[in-house]
Amino acid sequence: MIERWALVSGLRGDLETYELIQRDLKKTRGVTALFVLGDLVGPERNCDALLDRLRNPHRGDLKPDCIYGWWEEQLLAERGFRGERKADALRLSQGEDTVSALLNTVNPSHLKWLASLQFGFIELDCALIHGSSSDVGDNLTAETSPLILLDRLTRLNVNRLFTARSTKQFHLELTGGGINSQVKDLNGKREQQQEVPKRSVIGIGAGLNYTLYDIGSDKTHFLTAGSKTNPKGKGFA
Amino acid sequence: MHHAIISCLHANLPAVEAVLNDIDKQGIDTITCLGDLVGYGPQPNEVVELIRKRGIATCQGCWDEDIIDGLNACECSYPSQLAERRGHLAHQWTDDQLTDENKCFLASLPTSLRRDRLLFVHGSPNSQHEYLLPDMDAFAALERVETAGADILFCGHTHQPYVRELRDGSIRVRLQSAEHGNDQGEELTLPMRKIVNAGSVGEPRHGSTNATYVIHNDATDEVEIKEVAYDVARTCQAIIEAGLPKVFAWRLSHGFEFAEQAEDASHVCER
């Protein structure tokens, strides 16, 4: 029997998009888990209705497992949940008005729940993180150096890293290669050879664009909620 | 031109004096220090003042950072909770001894120094607390050097001197994306890079009691690991007289870390 995960991110308060995705998932065979990889909130719209729905799923909803993303990190920092840190990254990149807008989109009653969300999940041999093992804001794309991608996989010793920060949908496989090294110390010299392990980094998309992952066959399907594309049509082995 | 790199002095004045004498004898006048001037040892003010007096370019080590920031940094690297408690004792003792002027000096140190294609850090370019061990994953090691934009990375922190050359590297990838569909694979050729660990002047842990440092030849990129004998007994005596944990003297006189059975094997850092 097919067993699939649905991976969603970048909803940014958009309940309508979330409902479209839930509707899609109801029609899709084998989806056993829904992971929401952060950016539940954003500055564009009031996020309370979406947060209510994520915390209290409707009957028939696939129950979401959420982690926090970059926008939650900014919100929580500004609201004093990150020690002395404030929303400096947001302030620097988008200015004071956006910081204020973000604060106004989330009712304070949601903050403790948002602060309780984890940085990521390890499921089977997969890491599910908003950014990467390095940072919630780590923006991994298909153009990121494979050396950096391999480092992010190595830090968690996982074979697959699902990331959302870039908002892009991609599946980059490390298929081979190697490196030689020589270590010289006071005891002499020794040579070492290491091969590139077969590992992957998968960008899951954002908003309407989400990803299905078949855990038995290791296939990813990049989908757009509300479109009529069959998962089979966009599957990548 | 030859230049010398020293690290992890750890308030051990006899060791620092012996190493500086050895460097002077070779006519080398460019010295770079990779931090950890204080901690564990009995002469923190004397060592800081000697480095200041000699005008040695220095970056901040994890101990230097912790003395200023008050143990904010993660110390998961202790082999056991007992070792962590001893570390905290040494931290408190050092904090009490150091003059305000010397603390200001430690606070003023940069976390890295760069000379053209050479980068000098205490632990790694990411953190003063990250260990770049000689046998760590070669790709991860290369990533640290490459991401920092260096050809040669000089570090300390492990107290074990080594030179690691990373070469003939490549990574093959295959991309599939929603935008472009299935792409052909491609291969990235990785650059040759080097990591040089200077070991430790004041608390060697390479299996010998000798202080270690390295000499780098700018023209040929050759690196020589140097060992220098010093009066270990004098430092051990000073550790005992200062009231610091006796195991600090024991490990100095053996040249490796003392690690008893972990009190709590499930000890997990919560920071």
Closest CA to A130 of A157, A100, A152: A152
Interchain contact, A183 vs B164, CB within 8 Å:
yes
Answer yes or no: is B258 within a domain: no
**B-chain residues within 8 Å CB-CB of A147?**
139, 142-143, 146-147, 171, 188, 190
pLDDT surpasses 50 at B269: no
Q: How does the average pLDDT of chain A come out, rounded?
A: 93
Per-residue pLDDT tens digits for B132-162 = 999 999 999 999 999 999 999 999 999 999 9
* Tens digits of residue pLDDT in A202-229: 999 999 999 999 999 999 999 999 886 5
User: pLDDT value at position A51?
Assistant: 98
Which chain A residue shows the shortest CA-CA distance from B177?
A170
Long-range contacts of B268-271 (CB under 8 A, 24+ apart): B269/B74, B269/B75, B269/B76, B271/B74
Contacts of B182 in chain A (CB under 8 A): 236
Across the interface, whether the CB atoms of B135 and A205 are under 8 A apart is answered no
Contact list, A182 vs chain B (CB under 8 Å): 164-165, 167
Assign residue B54 the CATH number of its domain: 3.60.21.10
**Which pair of structure tokens corresponds to residue A87?**
């929303």
Tell whether A116 lies on the interface with B, counting CB pairs under 8 A: no
pTM of the model: 0.86
Q: Is the pLDDT of residue B117 over 80?
A: yes
Tell me which CATH code domain A4-236 carries. 3.60.21.10
Name the more confident of A169 and B82.
A169
Domain that holds residue B224: 2-167+194-252
Question: Closest chain A residue to B182 measured between Cα atoms?
Answer: A236
Say yes or no for a CB contact (<8 Å) between A185 and B135.
no
> From A153, which residue of chain B is nearest by alpha-carbon distance?
B140
Residue B182 lies in a domain: no
Is B242 inside a domain boundary? Answer: yes
CB contact under 8 Å between B175 and A142, yes or no, is yes
Q: What is the pLDDT of residue B88?
A: 83
DSSP string, chain B: -EEEEE---TT-HHHHHHHHHHHHHTT---EEE-S--SSSSS-HHHHHHHHHHHT-EE---HHHHHHHHTS-S--TTSSSHHHHHHHHHHHHHHHHHS-HHHHHHHHH--SEEEETTEEEESS-SS-TT----TTS-HHHHHHHHHHTT-SEEEE-SSS--EEEEEEEEEEEEEEEETTTEEPPPEEEEPPPEEEEE---SSS--SSSSSEEEEEEETTT--EEEEEE---HHHHHHHHHHHT--HHHHHHHTTTS---PPPS-TT-----
Is A171 in Cβ contact with B177 (below 8 Å)?
yes
Complete edge-to-edge strand list for the sheet that includes strand B31-33: B57-58, B31-33, B2-6, B211-217, B223-228
Output the pLDDT for position B72. Answer: 56
Would you say residue B264 has pLDDT above 70? no
Q: What pLDDT does A13 receive?
A: 97
> pLDDT confidence of B71, banded at 50, 70, 90?
low
Number of domains comprising chain B: 1
ipTM of the complex as predicted: 0.89
Q: In sequence order, what DSSP letters do the residues of B107-151 get, joined into one string?
A: HH--SEEEETTEEEESS-SS-TT----TTS-HHHHHHHHHHTT-S
pLDDT of residue A41: 98
Q: Is the pLDDT of residue B258 over 80?
A: no
A163-189 tens-digit pLDDT: 999 999 999 999 999 999 999 999 999
Which whole-number Å values give the CA distances from B91 to A216, B28, B66, B80, in the listed order? 52, 33, 8, 16
Model confidence at B266, in pLDDT bands (50, 70, 90)? very low
pLDDT of residue B67: 85
Q: Give the mean pLDDT of A91-97.
A: 96
